[in-house]
Amino acid sequence: MDDFNDPFTKTMLDEYNLTQQEQQQMREYAKIMGVLQDAVHELNVIKEREKEYLQLRNQAIQKLYHNQSVSVQHIADEIGMTRQMVNIIKNEYANQ
């Protein structure tokens, strides 16, 4: 992140005749904006990972039900999910 400590930036801030308070405000803005951009990036990475794991979970549920004949109730009980949600996921298999 930029912290405005390099000589060029200090010179630019001085040339614009900014007060100390305005310079401090610009520094804080840059830091906060950097934090925001980092957070948004990391949240996007998490969303992508979540999609991958949801797909893995759904495939496992479908295989357990369709290939291994494990009941919806047993799957739901084992993973702490409602039967309704397991039913929705296992039925996606039939629609693919």
58-80 pLDDT, tens digit each: 999 999 999 999 999 999 999 99
User: In the 8-state DSSP scheme, what is residue 57?
Assistant: H
Distance from the first to the final alpha carbon of the chain: 46
Query: What are the sequence ranges of the domains in the chain?
Result: 7-95
Mean pLDDT (the chain, rounded): 88
**Whether 35 contacts 2, CB under 8 Å:** no
pLDDT along the chain (96 residues), means of 10: 64 70 87 96 98 96 96 98 96 73
- pLDDT in the model for residue 1: 46
Say how far apart CA 81 and CA 73 lie, in whole Å. 9
- Rounded Cα distance between 6 and 77, Å, is 59
The single-letter DSSP state of residue 16 is T
How far apart CA 2 and CA 37 sit, in angstroms, is 12
